Structure 1
């Protein structure tokens, strides 16, 4: 069905919404009065409504004071409500009043129900998730981001429930067992940012440093302590953003609330930010260091949206990255200021930049600015291109412009477009005017075309380099039409004596360089490109410098091995060349480098193990690689260690266990046995590591012990740790049991996908997971209703394979099921690159492991 955006002939100005949810029958009734302007002659209004029963409709003109009862009809497929008048009306203002009812669904979108347990009793909250096009499931509206309005919200709910919305309550009236809560008028904003929650919660609160904004964190009843970390982060972040943007936070309050059933990580509703529990709650005894970082980042991300997304909103979903890319960049900026000991920008290179480089190397990727012609396509662009690539190119631009010009341009952009909508070009204009640099010329090459370059560097003579840019693909250097794109690249060259920048717009340039003992392109990994050192002299010098600890930048060391493994996977260099480079990292001590190296190595080894290769030599190499750093960090924490060592310890000990180190396995079993008797015996930072090791090398009794921990805890982070560890089992029967558990009522729908993926990513479990997915496809479709979680699941399962035969089988299955998505296309492309990699290099790789 063709799609057209709603006409601009009618402009809503103020919504007066009254909703009455029934938490027993899971239904709701409502009315909405919409003050609107008719800007041209029309005989009908067209707005959005979905899964609603419209019961009445009246219109009253402000000019004539006359009311009429138009006819109306709902198009379920188009999700529209047509309001038809007997005759054409001239431009005027009026109020459209609609009565309706709906269902509190269990799909985690629109106005839905969320299950929780209190005092041993199952109960339900009513909550909202409207981004991107689900406000229409709660009330009829012009449900597009450019149709901004004000909102007056009134909720009638049980008197013993907490009722909150975007703005503070201004009136509450009790009547029997019910109460009606009226909220203050919102600022002008888009429908997808409206929110309301009805349930049972406690909260912690504090004012920001200037005593102006009241910040609250709503938590499950009796768990106020778990909200303190997020409260501290939020109350520090809001003033930081106010100062950085140069614009005050425009609301009197900022609420953050943990929702038991929540599909994504969080949602930036203006003044009422909703989170899944694991993205907001921190228990000082049971939360790991990585969870604290995750909570800090998500809190900072959503609060950045209060300016980027809420105050200034993209005009249409094509420009989604303006919201998500900037918030993803700002989250690191704010968290780094609040917790500098976490070294967040180093983690950014692995987390965001690494994810973006991997996805954008596929032909089935998409530009940052991707035309969205139908709302059904929106979910597919909430991915690592909009978020991670978006934030990475912003980081590159920030580095290129410098902070003063960047901040000035950003401030001008926000001021000019506040309470309105913007296009990507509006941002480039503001930054270009502030910096006097060719921002649009540069950034169009990064946002309007997909992909990125690999820069091949050749030493022409001492002190002189030749640089050539070509599009990088996971399948190799691009050819034909794929090879045509060029990028405006700020190329930085680091050495032991200097750091220089050259602007590269052409296919090939020659530049001067220091005549030093080593050089490294893309200093600090600020540029979104890969580097290939074509000259053997350059490669050898750089590897020697890394091995002798002369390359002091963590980001540079991380980038060198990341590029090498990507080039190997693409067939541009032999994989054994990349593995030889990895040997130079045996004495590495930084968590970020080890995290990235481990991820790259695991991807390779999973494919090798899954194609019948002998694992003994692989395991021996793994134990040798991780033994030095594992001995340094040990099992016990030390008072003098830096803030990232707890995560490093968990990582390297888990890898030693994965590679079969007997002492590590023995110690993990000892700690697990102690933990079963006394929870204080196993620090939170070691639990994921220990759980994974004991499950990999355990049996049915280990599995049951893990399930007992899962069932006795009411802390969601601990539940997730236990559930995900089940996928590490070696016994096929236990992996099958885990998949069945993932579809059981014991696992929330939002979490089951990650349990399932833990099996699929275990090389022993990928066949089992694929078979289970095909056998239960209808259940998964019903559970996720075509949302992004289903796409995530499909991609995670399918991309583990490396056989052209299996690729054809998978493609046939989904064609029969009439399922297609960008995620599936990317997974099928990944199978082909995996297959090419193994066919090309597997034999040489295994021979290398035999000798190392």
Structure 2
């Protein structure tokens, strides 16, 4: 794996280290510019005659250096050398700064407030019929250098004293609380001659009462990507919490979008004291803001003391936001608060250990304590674990701890492996050692590296101290090697024989790709003579094969509660017994086990380890299932079938008929209304079965949704469309309607009451069956959509069998202008992926390869390779299973009488 020295050409020199920044920023919202100066306090680690630091898209001037050892300023070559490819600048010194000394480096900078959602940028707030601009930062991973010259690597932590200069009628925000604030007038600010002279150098001139100076308290040591500031006419809602460790009370404001921020604010106030308890470390800053932004590249960002994020990540209308939207906001807020410890107090040394920031399970553990009725531990399986297993089953996958030699690749590793697989691996470890012991180990890890940086073995060391387990021996392959195993189970005399091999979605791995032996916690669930189940968490498969004594006449299952990061393949006779047990009302297989059984059956069928008909047989046997999360896993399986056979009308028609018959009793039982006070799992099950039934062509469901939408068009009254049915109602209206419905949904996007309404409308626009209207959708997207919303348009168009080729052609024809607009954003890779990732033939794979063969794909090469792997895996599935699947579905139709 990489380290700060393993790729010296892509890292900053180690001759100096910043210890403190005095950072001044002047924001001019009217001119959409910013400027300022940096005073960087440096430790000189080696004799040096030049300073190399990071800077991109900035104009730099007036560099100066003062050496404490020489007790004088040093002449600096004012012709600064730039390396644009590396985002670096170098100034040469007339004298050598001696090792072991200290120096101060001062430099002025200026830049433009662009709308590119990176660095220090502008955002537009539409309200009361007018547009207001405000500015904010998004620095992760390497964009602090776009806002001010700095040493922009996570290992190079320093303290920050931020001063912001802005129009007097605006509000300034930064990581720390305001220390002082005053209007600046030239010639009267004798309290700070240095600042006054610097302002004069910036040509601020006669400012009178137009400008003000806001000074913020000095921060703890932190990495540059966590520095944050914002300026604008903000509104806010405020709360507070009292630390359970010290009794201190801290304010928790949420600037902007005041009416919809209460829910996220309440979640923040509840999560902070819980994190303090589980980590046994008090939140160290005096406040924690959340800034909700109208234009935001990522979902949200954990800047220390100033969380930022897009509207859909934080805004909830209690009357108009569906349950899924509320759950997303709660999980996002909790995730970002967890970062205040995991990532902010202790930060990875380099981006190859990104998962040490992103892979924590805090949002699951904590949200479960706040909303136990949401069943987030079980939900984790169908979301995070399944997403991780799907991505990691590709030959083009990468390890959790992945080599990232330069900035071009960093954005690409913010994926399901750094987040979901990392979280799943840690969840597996927590199950093995026990959650309480695991969290104690995490606390040890954090305390031993407070305000510092860490690597994987530091975390393993903390958990090992708490558990007494040789954690590195058990866990290293899970983070340093690509992939995960499939455990094959065969019954033999006296027990079972188990074998591990690497699982690939394309089929059994060749020997060259099957070299890793993982230490696999088998978590064996078995029934005793009394019929009660027990779980043995002590079994570890750390060899290729092993015999396990077991009474196989009683029900049993590996990977109890689906806590392991692997698939389990049983022989057909064992599968039949497990399926029968899972279908029982009083089954010993818990909800988590049944979710895992369904997800494994789909993945094993897709990869050719089992027949696709066996997947349908298992699902067919679960008709009596009552739990939403099992049905959600079943729906996910049907979606995989559709994604593979989307051009085979015969298979689509037969499978859709099977789905309609299976889901119809649930629709009739649950209806279309959402009574107050019902259990969340019932709410989500109703939403699930109506969604799937409508998409699969259930005429009664479609008519009901159309009726509700028509009422909205005719009266303007949306009360007949529950928030949880908003997305599917808009989608069906557009799909089965014409221009009138499309125009109306477009209007909802432009004037929707909540972020979830607008996103639902955007996705729905892509489901038109009229190619002329689809082309208008693309034109509308390019001309009117915010950059942050493009991927929602792509989601809709790529999930529409009538338009997915149109979308691909559009991207290929407009590749250069799309690249020019998005190449600097993390969304760029998702646009490429969304335009190519949904196909399922070898010809499509070849056509895509041909188009991209001469393109600079350095910003999306991972998702390109992953998309191609997925296309070819689906093509193999179709080639292998079409005849078998058609025969099973035809036989089912004869037995059941069809729809």
Sort the TM-score into its range (normalised by shorter chain). Answer: over 0.9
From the superposition, tell whether residues 555 and 241 of structure 1 become closer, same or farther in structure 2 (CA, over 3 Å). same
Return the offset for 1:656. 1.1
Q: C-alpha separation between the residues in 1 aligned to 2:321 and 2:448?
A: 42
SS of aligned partner of 1:247: coil
Q: C-alpha separation between the residues in 2 aligned to 1:209 and 1:732?
A: 57
Q: Can you list the C-alpha shifts for 1:786-820, whole angstroms capped at 9, x where unaligned?
A: 54312112222212111212211111111233335
Q: Can you list the C-alpha shifts for 1:553-611, whole angstroms capped at 9, x where unaligned?
A: 11111111111111111111111111111111222221111222212211212332324
From the superposition, tell whether residues 786 and 55 of structure 1 become closer, same or farther in structure 2 (CA, over 3 Å). closer
SS of aligned partner of 2:853: helix
Return the offset for 1:712. 2.8
Q: Relative to structure 2, which stretch is displaced further, 440-449 or 200-209?
A: 200-209
Match of residue 823 from structure 2: 785
Alignment partner of 1:773 is 2:811:
yes
SS of aligned partner of 2:775: helix
Which runs of structure 2 are paired with 1:63-462 in the superposition (5 Å)?
63-71=69-77, 72-91=80-99, 92-175=101-184, 176-210=209-243, 212-220=248-256, 223-326=257-360, 329-461=361-493
Match of residue 196 from structure 2: none
Are the equivalent residues in 2 in contact too, given 1:651–1:689 (CA < 8 A)? no
SS of aligned partner of 2:503: strand
From the superposition, tell whether residues 551 and 689 of structure 1 become closer, same or farther in structure 2 (CA, over 3 Å). farther
Return the offset for 1:163. 0.9
Are the equivalent residues in 2 in contact too, given 1:57–1:69 (CA < 8 A)? no
Are the equivalent residues in 2 in contact too, given 1:60–1:68 (CA < 8 A)? yes
SS of aligned partner of 2:140: coil
Q: C-alpha separation between the residues in 2 aligned to 1:787 and 1:2?
A: 25
Q: C-alpha separation between the residues in 1 aligned to 2:620 and 2:238?
A: 51
Q: C-alpha separation between the residues in 1 aligned to 2:459 and 2:789?
A: 37
Match of residue 472 from structure 1: 503
Q: C-alpha separation between the residues in 2 aligned to 1:795 and 1:629?
A: 35
Are the equivalent residues in 2 in contact too, given 1:217–1:230 (CA < 8 A)? no
Q: Relative to structure 2, which stretch is displaced further, 806-815 or 127-136?
A: 806-815
Q: C-alpha separation between the residues in 2 aligned to 1:691 and 1:350?
A: 25
Return the offset for 1:551. 4.3
Return the offset for 1:164. 0.4
From the superposition, tell whether residues 639 and 24 of structure 1 become closer, same or farther in structure 2 (CA, over 3 Å). closer
Are the equivalent residues in 2 in contact too, given 1:42–1:90 (CA < 8 A)? yes
Alignment partner of 1:490 is 2:527:
no
Q: C-alpha separation between the residues in 2 aligned to 1:471 and 1:507?
A: 11
SS of aligned partner of 2:288: strand
Q: Can you list the C-alpha shifts for 1:284-314, whole angstroms capped at 9, x where unaligned?
A: 1111100110001011111111101010010
Are the equivalent residues in 2 in contact too, given 1:261–1:748 (CA < 8 A)? yes
Are the equivalent residues in 2 in contact too, given 1:587–1:628 (CA < 8 A)? no
Return the offset for 1:158. 1.4
Alignment partner of 1:721 is 2:760:
yes
Are the equivalent residues in 1 in contact too, given 2:644–2:875 (CA < 8 A)? no
Q: C-alpha separation between the residues in 2 aligned to 1:146 and 1:515?
A: 53
SS of aligned partner of 1:170: strand
From the superposition, tell whether residues 617 and 57 of structure 1 become closer, same or farther in structure 2 (CA, over 3 Å). same
Q: Can you list the C-alpha shifts for 1:724-748, whole angstroms capped at 9, x where unaligned?
A: 1122233333333322222222x21
Of 642, 655, 668 in structure 2, the residue corresponding to residue 605 of structure 1 is 642
Match of residue 743 from structure 2: 704
Match of residue 773 from structure 2: 734
RMSD of the alignment, in Å? Answer: 1.7
SS of aligned partner of 2:404: coil
Match of residue 853 from structure 2: 815
SS of aligned partner of 1:146: coil
From the superposition, tell whether residues 544 and 800 of structure 1 become closer, same or farther in structure 2 (CA, over 3 Å). same
Are the equivalent residues in 1 in contact too, given 2:117–2:825 (CA < 8 A)? no
Q: C-alpha separation between the residues in 1 aligned to 2:270 and 2:161?
A: 29
Q: C-alpha separation between the residues in 2 aligned to 1:839 and 1:166?
A: 56
Match of residue 879 from structure 2: 839
Q: Can you list the C-alpha shifts for 1:59-104, whole angstroms capped at 9, x where unaligned?
A: 1122443112311322222211212112222131121110111111
Q: Relative to structure 2, which stretch is displaced further, 137-146 or 82-91?
A: 82-91
SS of aligned partner of 1:788: coil
Return the offset for 1:835. 0.9
SS of aligned partner of 2:712: helix
Return the offset for 1:340. 0.4
5+ residue gaps, structure 2, are 1-6, 185-208, 528-532, 893-899
Are the equivalent residues in 1 in contact too, given 2:178–2:214 (CA < 8 A)? yes
SS of aligned partner of 1:16: strand
Q: Can you list the C-alpha shifts for 1:139-164, whole angstroms capped at 9, x where unaligned?
A: 11110011110001111111121210
Q: C-alpha separation between the residues in 2 aligned to 1:741 and 1:545?
A: 52
Match of residue 513 from structure 1: 550
Match of residue 706 from structure 2: 669
Q: Relative to structure 2, which stretch is displaced further, 300-309 or 671-680?
A: 671-680
By relative contact order (CA 8 Å, sep 6+), the higher-ranking structure is 2
**TM-score (normalised: structure 1):** 0.97
SS of aligned partner of 1:681: coil
Q: Can you list the C-alpha shifts for 1:103-161, whole angstroms capped at 9, x where unaligned?
A: 11221111111111233222211110011111111111110011110001111111121
Are the equivalent residues in 2 in contact too, given 1:589–1:629 (CA < 8 A)? no
Are the equivalent residues in 1 in contact too, given 2:643–2:840 (CA < 8 A)? no
Match of residue 890 from structure 2: 850
Alignment partner of 1:32 is 2:38:
yes
Are the equivalent residues in 1 in contact too, given 2:74–2:95 (CA < 8 A)? no
Q: C-alpha separation between the residues in 1 aligned to 2:772 and 2:147?
A: 44
Match of residue 564 from structure 2: 527
From the superposition, tell whether residues 640 and 296 of structure 1 become closer, same or farther in structure 2 (CA, over 3 Å). closer
Return the offset for 1:685. 1.4
Return the offset for 1:246. 0.4
SS of aligned partner of 2:512: helix
SS of aligned partner of 1:208: strand
Are the equivalent residues in 2 in contact too, given 1:325–1:391 (CA < 8 A)? yes
Return the offset for 1:510. 0.8
State how many pairs are aligned: 845
Q: C-alpha separation between the residues in 1 aligned to 2:753 and 2:183?
A: 33
Return the offset for 1:552. 4.5
Are the equivalent residues in 2 in contact too, given 1:650–1:688 (CA < 8 A)? no
Return the offset for 1:2. 8.0
SS of aligned partner of 2:831: helix
Are the equivalent residues in 2 in contact too, given 1:319–1:369 (CA < 8 A)? yes
From the superposition, tell whether residues 275 and 215 of structure 1 become closer, same or farther in structure 2 (CA, over 3 Å). farther
Match of residue 563 from structure 1: 600
Are the equivalent residues in 1 in contact too, given 2:391–2:416 (CA < 8 A)? yes
Q: C-alpha separation between the residues in 2 aligned to 1:168 and 1:713?
A: 34
Return the offset for 1:24. 2.4
Q: C-alpha separation between the residues in 2 aligned to 1:286 and 1:822?
A: 38
Alignment partner of 1:59 is 2:65:
yes
Are the equivalent residues in 1 in contact too, given 2:75–2:94 (CA < 8 A)? no
Q: C-alpha separation between the residues in 2 aligned to 1:542 and 1:607?
A: 27
Are the equivalent residues in 2 in contact too, given 1:588–1:629 (CA < 8 A)? no
SS of aligned partner of 1:605: helix
SS of aligned partner of 1:180: strand
Q: Can you list the C-alpha shifts for 1:199-226, whole angstroms capped at 9, x where unaligned?
A: 1221111111346343434343xx4231
Q: C-alpha separation between the residues in 2 aligned to 1:606 and 1:76?
A: 42
